[in-house]
Structure 1
């Protein structure tokens, strides 16, 4: 669905998902600039357009913020000296020669990548593998920790999976399965915990209604500040 706003046209990805008890239209602007719309299954296009017309200025302003941030993002070349992130801390990338298997390790303020070839693709693949391994460990540990705070998952942890996603940090299926973006491991711990609790709250409220946000407020009172911080980091911590 595309709606005009001033001299621009804004594309919306509308999702109607059976089984979700949604009663209103919710709009989300993702860090990559995608605009997602969750709508009731019974809502027709005219009703959705009417609801979106009331949010056009807000959506346009968010997209402008993302556009401004992208102006300051450098194209990654995977060479020594570039900035990379792990748990919110900035490290310098250091590419080293290696005749054996690729190896990645933290040393002081450096993230060292030892590869047989200094080809950028070889460095990127080594980094991606290392980040996924760290994500599996760190996100698993944080999930165990935050689940102890939430009564509805304290005794039975949800099933989880890692998947590279370009429009979101995590998701929760109607069946209660969490999917997490391994890029989360590059963000600060408070951002990781916020995403985990956000998705776990969907096990109680599978929508973005006021009831959902009331639940989220109860366990992460500062979630709006943390979300703003995470969205601001999205371009910076991307590989």
Structure 2
């Protein structure tokens, strides 16, 4: 379960989060859309403890994130996966070593078990046989799936996606969105997805919201939000279609 209660965050004189309330039940997926530069990624950074709120509460899996010790925060992060916007793969490591990195850095898992776990997540994202390739040798869509495999390798209960469709062509964007939905359905992960793609939100999310002016201005199932008469929703989707 993920919850934010009246969260406020400012940088200097700029209020980025202005009394944000969010509730994502365990095992469900929630998509966040909205204009660029409005603070959507700042939301994710609060959930994983990279930023602290000025006011309000951030609760993940029953724990108050800002109140966790450094060791407790490390434990929380082991239960969370994070897919970065452009995969954030390390160019000089092959696919296997990129995916294995979180296990080697944060656990004492024996190497044979690490290799077994890597093979398992490669199968989940349908990249069997790509383990010895380097990032420069695979397509953007494959790089994104490697990033997803790395996020999954610690077997998290929660996964955060920062623009999973970024840099992909429309067909691959839909394929990644369908993969996110399949993983959520099969493994019961709780997911928060920041996206600029209405297709991604429609396919991957149980519920979604438009974030603008530091708050969620429209929230509901994707069909409701995408066809909302709310002025900010109409302005956002209208601007994207012109």
Is this a same-fold pair by TM over 0.5? no
Of structures 1 and 2, the one with the larger relative CO (CA 8 A, separation 6+) is 2
Structure-1-length-normalised TM-score: 0.30
Higher helix share: 2
